[in-house]
Structure 1
Amino acid sequence: MSDIIQLLPDHVANQIAAGEVVQRPASVVKELIENSIDAGATSITLLLKDAGKTLIQVIDDGKGMSATDARLSFERHATSKIKDAQDLFNLNTKGFRGEALASIAAIAHVELKTKQEDDELGTQIKIEGSEITSQEVVSTAKGTSIAVKNLFFNIPARRNFLKSDTVETRHIVDEFQRVALAHPTISFLLHHNNNEVYHLKKSNLRKRIVAIFGTKMNEKLVPINEQTDIITVNGFVAKPEFAKKKRGEQFFFVNNRFIKSSYLNHAVVNAFEGLLESGSHPSYFLYLEVPPNTIDINIHPTKTEIKFDNEKALYAILRATVKHSLGQYNVAPVLDFDRDATLDTPYDYSKKSNSSVPPITVDPTFNPFKTETNYKEPSNTNSSPKSSTTHSYQSNFKKDTGSWEALYTNTETIEPIQQEQLFESEQETETGKTFQIQKKYLLSSIKSGVVLIHQSLAHQRVLYEEFLENITVKEASSQQLLFPVNISFSSSDIEMIYSIKSDLESAGFMFDEFTKESVVIAGIPTSISESQITLILEQLLDDIKLEVPDTSFSHFDVMAKSFAKSLAIKTGASLNPKEQENLVNNLFSCKEPNISPFGKPTFKTLALNEIDAIFNK
């Protein structure tokens, strides 16, 4: 029997390795920028075309490579970062495996130009699918320029699995932001289809965060700073009132490398205990410095997961550090044992003097069982009896205590809380054949039994079909805003909104102006209100970032889903009889009433025999 095991050709092995290293254009961006940082670059430029599918070019002013190194850099496991296995446990660089360039060159057209500072001329190498087509001497600037063109040109199946340009651009921007946040002392420039998205100058950490996420971020940040024997923690967390419903601006960096850690995230969230609304997530930018030999970063191809030697200690330190900073900057409530008691004095009384305490007197002759209405008022002087004892006593009290009562003038009057305000009625709402249960479900009677409807999911289905029809079939109607609305977003979000501008206009939005950090909206669809604009656009951006399927109707489907989710009746909303009836009727008028736009069931039918079976067991 002949041998069946054989060595794979290098180009096949490289394509297989590329499956781990290069999952999408963003993977290429990450590897190339990290190489530039390892080369000591102080300025890095990223140029993109068609979300990186046509071109990804990274230009840096690093130390460059010699002709020999330039050629060797495209060989598998060729690296300048490590020399033996022990070096894997003392890494201070980004890349170290030596697979990135070989993997990229196996699935794209690559052109490399590089020159060292002391050399007069540099080197240019062109590669197509692992095959070096040319190598020559060229005149070029100090540093390295590498252009990756036609990604996955020889693997069409992989190229077909790429998402829309908007989604792929989002992934690239995510990688770009992570690297830029980790290295504020390096200037970065990002151009997409000849449009400048980011121009980040060399700065400190706070300025870098603000430059990426917009000027409004500055007021949200609370500094974090702690140094111990095993870890140094620096960075910022956002104030609790700026927490978001989606996990967005959450960044951990360990030794200037972006990582993902649900364990450390739990520590931060725990520090916000009691400060966040249910379902909200804090934003943070936290930088951890630990000895390189206490972590293992070689456990995942993307190097975003790290194993720590002393996770429990790091958890405790991180939680305590964040909690301390929230209290230190008066974000969290604290017990103040050094409180100035004079602060208890009302403001209007603070400048008054000679306040006297009213005298307390007792009438020894007073008898509550007497029927007489008059009695002698107690006094240190011989005063005559008053015709009205009650009136006399009150008059005397007011006379002596005017300054005392002045303490509480101009203070807020607290109305007593009615008992019915404390307890919410738990009765069901009844309307003919429909009941609302726990402000979440509608129970409706039908001929064969009953149907239980999830009010929020049902309304999502109704709104989704209405929006989709208005966008794709009918001509969407707009309402002009009396005063245009200016909404702030990050530069990347503005770029994303601009990329779907025509689709949003088809839905009824009207735009006046786009800047790097804001968009001016002059008109909106008639089906939404002005107060819902920000909510809808933020939800739409989140859905695009999370790759809500967008194959059927381009962005129209995503927009219809986002609008429906943003505007649908929420759990906890009380519906009157007419609203219940309308929702039930509208749901069963839909083309697909049984599922929400996101595939969840909207109702459940219980036939009469199923109900009988419950009680006849």
Structure 2
Amino acid sequence: MADIINLLPDNIANQIAAGEVIQRPASAVKELLENAVDAGATEIQLIVRDAGKELVQVIDNGKGMSETDARMCFERHATSKIKTINDLFEIRTMGFRGEALASIAAVAQVELKTRQPDSPIGTCIEIDNSVVRNQEPCQTAAGTSICMKNLFFNVPARRNFLKSNAAEMRHIVDEFIRVAMAYPQLQFTFTSNNQQVFYLEKGSLKQRIIAILGQHYNAKLVTVKESTDYVNIHGFVGKPETAKKTRGDQFFFVNNRFIKSPYLHHAIMSAFSEMLPGDSFPLYVLYIDLDPAHVDINVHPTKQEIKFDDEKILYAFVQSAVKHALAQFNVTPTLDFDLDPGIQQLDAISKPFTEQQQERSTSSSLYKTFTQAHQAHVIDKSSNSNLKHWKDLYEIGKTDLPIQNTGMSPIPDAPAFVNRPSTASMIDDRWQDTTIDQKVPVQVHQQYILSQIKSGFILIDQHAAHERILYERYLRALQDKPMPTQQSLFPQTLQLLPADAALIAEMLPDLQVLGYDMEPFGNHTFVVRGTPADIQSGNEQASIEGLLEQFKHFSAELKVNKREQLVRSMARNSAIPAGKSLGAREMQNIIDELFACNMPNVSPGGKYTYVSFKLADLVRMFERGN
């Protein structure tokens, strides 16, 4: 029988390997930025066109490469970082396996220009589908410029799996932020389609966080710093009020490498456990420095998942460091300035206040102006005063009011720990008025709606019910009946973070169908000329920010399509919240619209919208004591 096992050709093997490393344009951005950092660059530029599908270019001012190294760097597993097996466990650089450039060259057209600072001339190499098309000397700036053009041009099936430009751009922004956040001492610029997305100057870690996440975090960051023989932890966590319902502002860096670790995330959440509700996520940017021998980063192609030799001790250190930082913030806030030594030399501090000086001061007209008789808050105690003593008012408030004879048995005494309300407040006015229809709904604790039905009564969760109503209304709008738009008298301009701006751009066509009249205005800004008719005018910024937060929450938790995520997000964000007081007509509208829904019994998230109580069950409950 003939042999059937053959070695794969290099170009096919490279494409298979590229499938693990280069999944989308953002993957190439990550690898090229990390190479620039490893090259010792102090200024790094990222340029993309068509969300990276047409061009991804990274330019750095690092140490560059020789002619031989420029050719060798595209070979599989060609690396300057690993020489012996022991080197694999002492990794302190970002790249080390020599797969990135070989993988990029297998699925794109690549042009590399590089020059070492002490060399008068550089090298230009053009590679197409892993084949060197051209290599020649060239004039170029010191450092390296690498262009990746037409990603997946030779693998059309893979190119078809790429998402929309807005979605791919969002992934690129995420990868750029992770590298830029890890190295605040370097300058980064990011340009997309000839428009600047980021310009990040060299600076401190706090300056870099604020430049990326927004100026509003300036006064809301708490410093974390903990040093031990085993590990050093430093960075910032957000104060509890910065927590959001969605993930996204959480960054872990181990030896300056961004990682994802649910285990360490749990350590942070446990440190915040007494300060935040369970469904909120705090902001944190934490750097963990430890001996590379305790870490295995070679467990995943993208190197974002790593293993520690002792996770439990690291968990304890992270939790302790964050708890300590939060305790300092809560208990001992400090001032950032020192007392001027010159103040200590003033006469008011250095010289005694003699009796003669005291008498002169108390006899002055200025002193008498501020004595008790001349102060506005003093109440005249004379008998002619029309004010009664506050104690009299207090005693009147405690006086029991007469109880009406209703023909019912007296109510048993309440336990001592229960605050007994006055009789007038025991019964809602709408229940006392017998002229009103008995079916008028009543709001309970500004959260539930109680309504009488033929067999008993139902208790409706006003937020869950309204969420179901809006969800079905928005679904109909996307299918065949666009929502009406309420035009704003004065258009609002919204400045968003780059990642959020990319997300809104992706959702813009559907948002317009759902009643938002908005369009891009350049530089992560949108002009909002109108909102859905059921959103209060002047609340555009909060509405869209809440929508973004809910959308990111559903993106992380649910595997549903983008339209479904958007509809659920809008319904959740726009629904009447618990704690809002409703009038009788508003409550009746909610009841009528809820039971006109296709699925009135549950919210889009699966929460019950109402529970029913049968009259027979109530009778049994009250007869149990007989």
Q: TM range, normalised to the smaller chain?
A: 0.7 to 0.9
In structure 1, how many angstroms separate the alpha carbons of the residues matched to 2:156 and 2:610? Answer: 43
Could you tell me which residue of structure 2 aligns to residue 136 of structure 1? 136
Amino acid at match of 1:467: Y
Structure 1 position 463 matched with structure 2 position 467 = no
Separation in structure 2 between the aligned mates of residue 162 and residue 444 of structure 1, nearest angstrom: 54
Give the superposition deviation at 1:68: 1.4
Query: Counterpart of 2:219 in structure 1: which amino acid?
Result: E
- Aligned partner of 1:70 in structure 2 is 70
In 2: Cα distance, 1:601 partner to 1:245 partner = 17
Matched residue, 1:528: 535
Residues 514-568 of structure 1 deviation map (CA, whole Å, 9 limit, x = unaligned) = 585776645422211247544532344346657859xxx9976654332112123
**Structure 1 counterpart of 2:548:** 541
Residue identity matched to 2:151:
L
Structure 2 counterpart of 1:210:
210
Aligned ranges 1:320-339 → 2 under 5 Å? 320-330=320-330
Q: Which residue of 2 aligns with 1:561?
A: 568
Distance 1:246 1:322 in 2: 20
Quickly say closer, same or farther: Cα 1:135–1:565, change in 2 above 3 A: same
- Structure 2 length as normaliser, TM-score? 0.72
* Equivalent in the alignment of 1:122: 122
The answer to whether the 8 A contact 2:111-2:126 is kept is yes
In the other structure, the counterpart of 1:45 is 45
Structure 1 residues 160, 591: CA separation in 2 closer, same or farther (over 3 Å shift)?
farther
* Alpha-carbon distance in structure 2 between the residues aligned to 1:440 and 1:112: 65
Paired residues for 1:171-570 under 5 Å: 171-330=171-330, 419=419, 459-470=466-477, 473-474=480-481, 476-481=483-488, 489-497=496-504, 504-505=511-512, 507-510=514-517, 521=528, 523-530=530-537, 533-542=540-549, 545=552, 548=555, 559-569=566-576
**Inter-CA distance 602–316: structure 2 relative to 1 (3 Å threshold):** closer
Q: Could you tell me whether the CA contact under 8 Å between 2:169 and 2:502 is conserved in 1? A: no
Query: Is the 1:440–1:573 contact (alpha carbons within 8 Å) kept by the matching residues of 2?
Result: no
After TM superposition, give the deviation of residue 475 of structure 1 in Å.
5.8
Q: Measured at CA, do residues 332 and 24 of structure 1 come closer, stay the same or move farther in structure 2, by a change above 3 Å? A: farther
Contact map agreement 1:59 1:145 (CA 8 A) in 2: yes
Summarize deviations over 1:227-268 as a string: whole Å, max 9, x none: 111111111111112111112211111111111112211222
Report the 3-state secondary structure (helix = DSSP H, G, I; strand = E; otherwise coil) of the residue aligned with 1:419.
coil
Q: SS state of the match for residue 305, structure 1?
A: coil
Aligned residue pairs, count: 527
One-letter amino acid matched to 2:154: N
Aligned partners of 2:53, 2:601: CA distance in 1, in Å? 39
What letter corresponds to residue 571 of structure 2 in structure 1? A
For 2:347, the equivalent position in structure 1 comes to none
CA separation of 1:467 and 1:63: change in aligned 2, threshold 3 A:
same
Q: In 2, distance between residues paired with 1:488 and 1:162? A: 28
Range that drifts further, 190-199 or 121-130: 121-130
**1:35 shift after superposition:** 0.5
CA contact (8 A) 2:26 2:171 kept: yes
Bigger CA drift: 84-93 or 313-322?
313-322
Aligned-partner Cα distance in 1 for 2:465–2:13? 51
**Is structure 2 residue 24 aligned with structure 1 residue 24?**
yes
Q: Report how far residue 311 of structure 1 moved.
A: 2.1
How far did 1:202 drift? 0.8
Q: How far is 1:461 from its partner?
A: 4.2
Q: How does 1:89-108 map to 2 (within 5 A)?
A: 89-108=89-108
Structure 2 letter corresponding to 1:490: L
Query: What is the distance in 2 between the residues matched to 1:158 and 1:588?
Result: 47
User: 1:32, 1:58 within 8 Å by CA — same for their partners in 2?
Assistant: yes
Distance 1:280 1:137, change over 3 A: same
Q: Shift in Å at residue 52 of structure 1?
A: 1.2
Relative to 1, partners in 2 of residues 1:542 and 1:123: Cα closer, same or farther, differing over 3 Å? farther
Query: Is the 1:275–1:332 contact (alpha carbons within 8 Å) kept by the matching residues of 2?
Result: no
Q: CA deviation at 1:275?
A: 1.3
Per-residue CA deviations over 1:468-513 (Å, capped at 9, x if unaligned) read: 5446755654435566656564343245445655664554445699
Between 1:506-515 and 1:114-123, the stretch displaced more is 506-515
Q: Output one character per residue of 1:71-109: Cα deviation in whole Å (capped at 9) or x when no partner.
A: 111111111111121101001100111111111111112
- Distance (whole Å) between structure 2 residues aligned to residue 128 and residue 432 of structure 1: 76
SS for the counterpart of 1:329 is helix
**CA shift for structure 1 position 460:** 3.5
Per-residue CA shift, 1:123-151, capped at 9, x if unaligned?
22222222222222221111111111221
Secondary structure class of the residue paired with 2:330 = coil
CA deviation profile, 1:447-472 (whole Å, cap 9, x unmatched): 9xx99998766644431342354467
Query: Contact conserved, 2:551 with 2:566, CA < 8 A, in 1?
Result: no
For 2:377, the equivalent position in structure 1 comes to none
The aligned counterpart of 1:33 is 33
- Distance in structure 1 (CA, Å) of the matches to 2:278 and 2:258: 27
> In the alignment, what sits opposite 2:159?
159
Decide whether aligned partners of structure 1 residues 128 and 440 sit closer, same or farther in structure 2, where only a CA change above 3 A counts.
farther
Letter in 2 for 1:525: P
CA distance in 2, matches of 1:207, 1:180: 12
Secondary structure of residue in 2 paired with 1:281: coil
Contact 2:105 2:128 (C-alpha < 8 Å) held by counterparts: yes
> Aligned letter for 1:463?
L
Q: Is the 8 A contact 2:554 2:569 kept in 1?
A: no
In structure 2, C-alpha distance between the alignment counterparts of 1:420 and 1:246, rounded to whole Å: 41
Higher mean displacement: 474-483 or 198-207: 474-483
- Structure 1 residues 243, 30: closer, same or farther in 2, change over 3 A? same
- Name which of structure 1's ranges 483-492 and 53-62 shifts more when overlaid on structure 2: 483-492
AA in 1 matched with 2:575: A
Secondary structure, aligned partner of 1:330? helix
Q: Is the Cα contact below 8 Å between 2:18 and 2:103 reproduced in 1?
A: yes
> 2:565 & 2:314 partners in 1: Cα distance?
40
Q: State how far apart, in whole Å, the 1-side matches of 2:99 and 2:441 are.
A: 64
Question: Relative to 1, partners in 2 of residues 1:125 and 1:513: Cα closer, same or farther, differing over 3 Å?
Answer: closer
Equivalence for 1:109? 109
**Structure 2 equivalent of residue 83 of structure 1:** 83
- Between the aligned partners of 1:195 and 1:596, the Cα distance in structure 2 is 42
SS in 1 for 2:40: coil
- In the alignment, the residues of structure 2 paired with residue 57 and residue 554 of structure 1 have an alpha-carbon distance, to the nearest angstrom, of 31
The CA distance in 2 between the partners of 1:571 and 1:18, in whole Å, is 51
Alignment-mate amino acid for residue 87 of structure 1:
D
Q: 1:82 to 1:468 in 2, by over 3 A?
A: same
TM-score where L is the length of structure 1: 0.73
Structure 1 contact 540–558 (Cα < 8 Å) conserved: no
Residue ranges of structure 1 left out of the alignment (5+ in a row): 334-350, 354-397, 400-407, 607-617
Post-superposition shift, 1:69? Answer: 1.1
Distance 1:54 1:443, change over 3 A: farther
Residues 443/237 of structure 1: CA separation in 2 closer, same or farther (3 Å cut):
same
Rounded to whole Å, the distance in 2 between the matches of 1:213 and 1:281 is: 15
Task: For 1:107 and 1:446, locate their aligned partners in 2 and report how far apart those are by CA, in whole Å.
Answer: 69
Q: 1:503 touches 1:555 (CA, 8 Å); kept in 2?
A: no
Shift, 1:200, TM fit: 0.3
Q: Provide the alpha-carbon RMSD of the alignment.
A: 4.4
1:232/1:288 contact within 8 Å kept? yes
Residue matched to 1:393: none
Q: Could you tell which deviates more after superposition, 575-584 or 225-234?
A: 575-584
* Residue identity opposite 1:217 in structure 2: Y
